[in-house]
Homo-oligomer: A and B are copies of this chain.
Amino acid sequence: MVNLGREGKLRLSSSHTTEYATSLELDFFSPIRWTDNQFFLLDQTLLPQEETWIHCTDLEIVCDAIKRLAVRGAPAIGVAAAYGLAVAVGNSGPESFDAAYQTLMATRPTAVNLRWALDLGRDLEQEMPAKDLHAGLIAWAQKLHVEDAETNRRIGEHGKELFAQADRVLTHCNAGALATAGFGTAVGVVQAAFEAGRLGSVWVDETRPLLQGARLTTWELKRLGIPHQLVTDSSVGALMSRSLVDRCVVGSDRIAANGDVANKIGTYTAAVMAHRHGVPFYVAAPLSTIDRSTPTGNDIPIEERASAEVSMIAGKDMTPSGTEALNIAFDVTPAELVTAIITEQGVLRAPYEESIAAAFARAAA
C-alpha cells in the first residue's frame, strides 16, 4: 500500500484516482470527518467539556485549527493538511495549490507528518491534470485518512506483543485516536494490549501546559473502558520509585534517522526516569513520523509557543502580572533511552539506523 517516492521517502501508491466518497463512512472513531463534501475537525481545545466540530470551509480555518491545536498529533495534522489542500483548491482553483502548500507548511515546525503529507500532495499535484486536481486531492486525503487508521491498527497489533499480563503502563500527552486519523499510536498499543488481556491500568500524566493527558487521553480511555488514573507530570519519578510502572509508551512528532525521538515536552524526562528504574520505554509511531532526512535529534526544529499557555490556565492568569514563561513544546529523547520503536512494519530496536532502513525496505517491498 505504500512505497518509496523520490528521495527515498515513504509515500502512498501513486495510482491516483479522482473517485472519492461524498461522505467518508468509518467504522472507527476519528477526529477528522468528511461529510456531504464538507471537511470537519473536532475542536480538541474544548474537550472534554464540549464536543464541537469545526466546519473547515476555507484554508484559513484549517491553518488556524492546526496552529491553536484544535487538531494536534503528528498523524492527525498530516491528514488534516491533506484535506486542507483539497479545500483550498476547491475554493480557489488549482493555481492556489502552491500558496496553500506553503501556508500549511508554516503552521507548525516539529511534526514531520505535516511535511510528509504536503509533499505527497505536491507529488499528486504535479502528476494530475489540473482539471482533476480537486477530486484527486479529496480522494487522496480520504485514502490517507483510512490508511493512517489502518497503520495504527497494525502498530497496536505489533505493540501488544511487548506487554505482559496486568501491566501498568504510563503514557504522556495524547497519542490516541484524537492525535491520528483513528486508533492512535501509543493509545492504539494500549488498547490492543488491553483487548489481549495484557494490560492492567494506565497512568496518564496530565501534560502541561495544554493538558492533553488530563483532557484528551482520559477522555479516550474512558470511552474505551480502560482503567486509568491521572497524575501530574512530575509524579513519574515517584511512581517508578514505588515500582508502580511496568512500561511506558508514547507517540512521537518526529523520529530522526538515528532513532532520536522528538515528542511532547516531558517525554525526555520520563525516558530518563524509565532508564534509571529499568522500565521499558516504547515509542509508537508510523513510518511517516520517521524523517530519514534528519540525521539526529539535534537537527529537529523544536517549536516554542506562547508564554500565556503556561501562565494562564482555564482562562485565568495564575501568575503575577508580567511573568514570562518559556514554553518549549517538545523535547528530544536520545535513541539510547528508547527500548523499541513500534511501527506498522514491526518493532524496531537499536541500532536504529539499520532497523529503520529495514522497515522502510519492507514497506516498499
A residues bordering B, Cβ < 8 Å? 48, 206-209, 211, 214-215, 218-219, 222, 229-239, 241, 265-266, 268-269, 272-273, 276, 302, 307, 310-311, 313-316, 318-320, 322-328, 331-332
Q: Determine whether the beta carbon of A324 is less than 8 Å from that of B235.
A: no
A-B contact pairs, 15 of them (CB 8 A): A208-B233, A214-B323, A218-B319, A222-B320, A229-B326, A230-B324, A231-B327, A232-B233, A232-B310, A232-B325, A233-B234, A233-B266, A235-B265, A236-B269, A313-B314
Residue of B nearest to A316 (CB): B314
Closest A-B pairs by Cβ, 5 of them: A234-B266, A230-B325, A237-B269, A238-B331, A237-B268
- CB A256 to nearest CB in B, in angstroms, measures 14
Kindly list 10 other residue pairs between chains A and B, CB separation below 8 angstroms, not including A206-B310, A208-B233, A232-B233: A48-B320, A209-B232, A211-B318, A214-B310, A229-B326, A232-B265, A235-B265, A238-B265, A313-B314, A314-B315
Q: Determine whether the beta carbon of B268 is less than 8 Å from that of A238.
A: yes
Chain B residue numbers with a CB within 8 Å of A268 are: 237-238, 241
Chain B residue numbers with a CB within 8 Å of A219 are: 320
Identical subunits present: 2
Q: Determine whether the beta carbon of A320 is less than 8 Å from that of B269.
A: no
Chain B residue numbers with a CB within 8 Å of A231 are: 310, 325-328
Of the residues B208, B237, B319, contact of A208 by C-beta under 8 Å? B208
Chain B residue numbers with a CB within 8 Å of A211 are: 318
Measured in the bound complex, the distance between the Cα atoms of B310 and A302 in whole Å is: 28
Chain B residue numbers with a CB within 8 Å of A233 are: 208, 232-234, 266
Q: Determine whether the beta carbon of B319 is less than 8 Å from that of A215.
A: yes
Measured in the bound complex, the distance between the Cα atoms of B104 and A275 in whole Å is: 41
Chain B residue numbers with a CB within 8 Å of A276 are: 272
- CB A243 to nearest CB in B, in angstroms, measures 13
- CB A202 to nearest CB in B, in angstroms, measures 12
Which of A215, A234, A236, A307 has the most chain B CB atoms closer than 10 A to its own CB? A234
Measured in the bound complex, the distance between the Cα atoms of B321 and A48 in whole Å is: 9
- CB A210 to nearest CB in B, in angstroms, measures 10
Measured in the bound complex, the distance between the Cα atoms of B328 and A324 in whole Å is: 28
Chain B residue numbers with a CB within 8 Å of A310 are: 206, 214, 230-232
Of the residues B215, B236, B241, B272, contact of A332 by C-beta under 8 Å? B241
Measured in the bound complex, the distance between the Cα atoms of B13 and A282 in whole Å is: 57
Which of A215, A222, A314, A319 has the most chain B CB atoms closer than 10 A to its own CB? A319
Which of A222, A266, A276 has the most chain B CB atoms closer than 10 A to its own CB? A266
- CB A248 to nearest CB in B, in angstroms, measures 14
Measured in the bound complex, the distance between the Cα atoms of B235 and A301 in whole Å is: 16
With A237-B269, A238-B265, A273-B269 known as contacts, the answer to whether A318 contacts B314 (CB < 8 A) is yes
With A206-B310, A272-B276, A314-B314 known as contacts, the answer to whether A319 contacts B237 (CB < 8 A) is no
Chain B residue numbers with a CB within 8 Å of A230 are: 307, 310-311, 319, 323-326
- CB A203 to nearest CB in B, in angstroms, measures 8
Chain B residue numbers with a CB within 8 Å of A323 are: 214, 218, 222, 230
Chain B residue numbers with a CB within 8 Å of A215 are: 318-319
Measured in the bound complex, the distance between the Cα atoms of B175 and A278 in whole Å is: 32
Chain B residue numbers with a CB within 8 Å of A313 are: 313-314
Measured in the bound complex, the distance between the Cα atoms of B327 and A316 in whole Å is: 22
Measured in the bound complex, the distance between the Cα atoms of B238 and A236 in whole Å is: 16
Measured in the bound complex, the distance between the Cα atoms of B320 and A238 in whole Å is: 24
